[in-house]
Homo-oligomer: A and B are copies of this chain.
Amino acid sequence: MPKLRVHNVTISLDGFASGPDQRLEEPLGEGFEIAHEWMFAALRERAEGRRGIDVEYVERGEHNIGATIMGRNMFGPVRGPWPDESWTGWWGDNPPFHHDVFVHTHHLRPPQPMEGGTTFHFTDEPLETVLQRAYEAAEGKDVRLGGGAATIQQYVRAGLVDEMHLVIAPILIGSGERLFDNLGDRIDGYRVEEMVSSPAVTHARLIRR
């Protein structure tokens, strides 16, 4: 059975998945950009042919993925109705997905095909419907669920997430959006399969019992 998987979701040591006051200039909230430095470093390492725990986890997140789902805030900083269709994501003309990407938003717009096989689909359908569409688009492969925290929480609450790979960054944020919040009893359905530190961060893998 194909799975719904979360990968590389970075939280601060004090548990936040984004900082306070998210806005165009600080899309992850104040002070949170640094939380993702480990990933940029891992991508540089890989480009140089080096290996390591962080590179390994980045690659696990790319393995056997046929479609992606994300919240609108992960797609871009625009809030409210789209002023036009010029914003096509953070990733340039050839995004690294190379498959169908489903973006949850109340503000619909036509599908946006990009170079390299990525197409962004904008949807306000229920989670289950979006996930079904993603599984169909993935043609037997798994579906990856991106952030932000609220999107992940919704899918966990709905009992739809099979695996979560989280990354604890050695920073303190103090306020913002907690990842482990609004989950009710659903978190009881998971166990921590693995927890391991690289020199930069700690990786934790949660799987459904």
Contacts and interface: CB of A to CB of B under 8 A. Distances in A.
A202 interface: yes
A29 interface: no
Determine how many copies of this chain the complex contains: 2
A188 B174 contact: yes
Nearest to A15: B15
Interface in A75-110: none
A185 interface: yes
Contact of A172 (B14, B168, B188): B188
A14 B192 CA distance: 10
A196 interface: yes
Interface in A162-187: 166, 168, 170-172, 174, 178, 180, 183, 185, 187
Interface residues of A, number: 26
Contacts of A168: 168, 195, 202
Contact of A185 (B174, B190, B201, B202): B174
Given A197-B196, A197-B197, A14 B170 contact: no
Contact of A170 (B171, B183, B192): B192
A172 B13 contact: no
B190 A172 contact: yes
Interface string A193-208: 0111100011010100
23 contacts: A13-B166, A13-B180, A13-B192, A13-B204, A13-B206, A14-B15, A14-B180, A15-B15, A15-B178, A15-B180, A168-B195, A168-B202, A170-B204, A171-B192, A172-B191, A172-B206, A174-B183, A174-B188, A195-B197, A195-B202, A196-B197, A197-B202, A202-B202
Given A172-B188, A195-B201, 11 more contacts: A13-B166, A14-B180, A170-B192, A170-B194, A172-B180, A172-B187, A174-B183, A174-B188, A195-B197, A195-B202, A197-B197
